[in-house]
Amino acid sequence: MSPVYSIVSYVSILLPSLSTYLSLIRDIYEAFILFDFFYLMNAYLGYDSVKNNINDDKIYEILI
């Protein structure tokens, strides 16, 4: 996240007219990174080594 944030901040200082569009790109990137993190956590919590796949029921048991 920090390389994207630093590049967007630097370019926004140089070109203030593009700062709105660049912040949109930064926010979309941040949302994608958060999605990947939560997907990874679900994969770790719900992985069933016997069936060798991700089991949604196991995730609900751990969370509840």
Render pLDDT for 13-33 as a digit per residue (tens, 0 to 9): 999 998 899 889 889 989 988
- For residue 55, report the phi and psi dihedrals to the nearest 5 degrees: -110, 115
Q: Is-above-0.85 flag for pTM?
A: no
CB 30 within 8 A of CB 1: yes
- Beta bridge partners of residue 54, listed in sequence order: 47
Average pLDDT across the chain, whole number? 78
Residue with tokens 């979309």: 28
Provide the greatest CA pair distance for the chain. Answer: 55
**44 confidence band (pLDDT: 50, 70, 90):** confident
| Average pLDDT score over residue span 26-46 | 84
Question: Which is nearest to 58 in space by CA: 50, 47, 39, 37?
Answer: 47
**Does residue 64 have a pLDDT over 60?**
no
